[in-house]
Amino acid sequence: MSTTIRSKVVKIGNSRGIRIPRTLLEQAGLSNDVEMSVEGNNLIIHPAHSPRQGWEARFKAMAEHGDESLIDLPASTQWDQDEWEW
């Protein structure tokens, strides 16, 4: 369902802001952090996503399929053998 509401751009310090009614925020799933971009003459605002969003579920699926092992085996160097101390 599309809702159109008219709003004004207001001055906030040296910037400008738009008051977004709660109904639009709820419909769009916006809360604290958002990402904004411009496409043509449209301002696009969408919920900010976490860089690691969904990782926990993916790791769990990997473990269930037995696909959680390292791709490459650790390689020891001469420095590791001669110089490294715990």
- Judge whether 81 lies within some domain: no
Given a cut of 50, the residues of the chain with pLDDT beneath it are: none
- Judge whether 83 lies within some domain: no
What CATH number is attached to the domain comprising 51? 2.10.260.10
* pLDDT the model gives residue 13: 93
Classify residue 39 as exposed, middle or buried by CB count within 10 Å of its CB (0-12, 13-18, 19+). Answer: exposed
* pLDDT the model gives residue 66: 85
The pTM of the whole model exceeds 0.75: no
Give the number of domains in the chain. Answer: 1
* pLDDT the model gives residue 39: 96
Do residues 43 and 36 make contact, with C-beta atoms less than 8 angstroms apart? yes
Question: Which amino acid is it at 7?
Answer: S
* pLDDT the model gives residue 37: 95
* pLDDT the model gives residue 1: 57
